[in-house]
Amino acid sequence: MSQWFDVKINNHILRITNPNKLIWSELNVTKLDYIQYLIDMSPYLLPYVKNRILTTIRYPDGLDGKSFYQKNIPNYAPAWIATHEWNGTTYILLNNLPTLVWLGNQACLEFHVPFNYYYESNTPSEIVFDLDPSDPNDFSLVLEVALLMKEVLDSLGLVSYPKTSGATGLQIYIPIERRYTYEQTYEFNKFIAYYIVEKYPQLVTLERLVKNRGKKLYFDYIQHGEGKTLSAPYFTRARKEGTVSAPVSWKEVQSGFHPHDFTMLNMRKRVKDRGDLFSNVNLEKEQQSLDDLLNTIQSFNKE
């Protein structure tokens, strides 16, 4: 195969370089295979990154080579790629398929976005609970705590949606009305975190140092804040298994799984069979009010 070829996507000519380079050597996945995954999955990928500033992790020589974070758009990037400047950095806005393919050709294997749109810098569109196991080989505790948290959220009248991080953890999304500040959502996250730890101290900890957690699950409520990011749904993670940050159903959480079950090799069939399990996160009808809960938390804090 040639070392490069040109392809036309939405009136933009893109050059694909080194298409046969192995990116995931253990899976025998080439750069072209990876770009094809991005193209095939683009209807599911793009809605969750559109109009959000993008941080990527690049592996120019494949997963076995060195990597680096990229926030600033490179000076050689095409002029048609949309950008937004925030805190002195010019970020890419991944708003269309040509941009996605260009980033795939740059060997960007991870895509991370914040909780807000770029034009609403202090207004998150969702609250996310990030659950990290102390033992990456044992996912059962993550599933157990996630179900306990769902009971709490259900009792508060909040609809929630889980997804794997694509690495070792699980994230629980709560779509909210876009009128709350990060300060307000932080108070909500903190309140829920302390409540869960107080109710299930044998299972959950807020201890940030891994060596001090024992076998408990870490509830990372600090990860939800302005400038913080999480892996975007359906995008790959830089893991040898080719894992994907996969939306899952609560029924699947109850039945049990491991994040390694969801990879770029089976995700296309999964969305064909199951559809987008995360679609309601982006729907206006699923935006939920936190007014009563925040008032209760404020009253509780005054006592």
CATH of the domain at 54: 3.90.920.10
Q: Identify the sign of the CA torsion 209, 214, 216, 217.
A: positive
pLDDT at position 4 is: 95
pLDDT at position 31 is: 98
- pTM (2 d.p.): 0.95
Contact 130, 223 (CB under 8 A): yes
* 167 in the same domain as 104: no
* 59 in the same domain as 88: yes
* 48 in the same domain as 174: no
The parent domain of residue 213 ranges over 126-302
Apex 145 CA angle, 243 and 135, nearest 5:
55
Separation in Å, CA 40 to CA 35, 37, 81, 169: 9, 5, 20, 26
- Tally of structural domains, the chain: 2
Q: Which of 49, 78, 113 is the last residue of a domain?
A: 113
pLDDT at position 184 is: 96
pLDDT at position 300 is: 76
The CA radius of gyration of the chain, in Å to the nearest whole number, is 20
SS3 assignment, position 8: strand
- Looking at the domain assignment, is residue 120 inside a domain? no
- Looking at the domain assignment, is residue 121 inside a domain? no
pLDDT at position 199 is: 96
Mean pLDDT by 10 residues, the chain (303 residues): 88 96 97 98 98 98 96 98 97 98 98 97 94 87 97 96 96 96 95 95 90 89 90 98 98 97 98 97 86 90 66
How many other CB atoms sit within 10 Å of the CB of residue 69?
Answer: 11
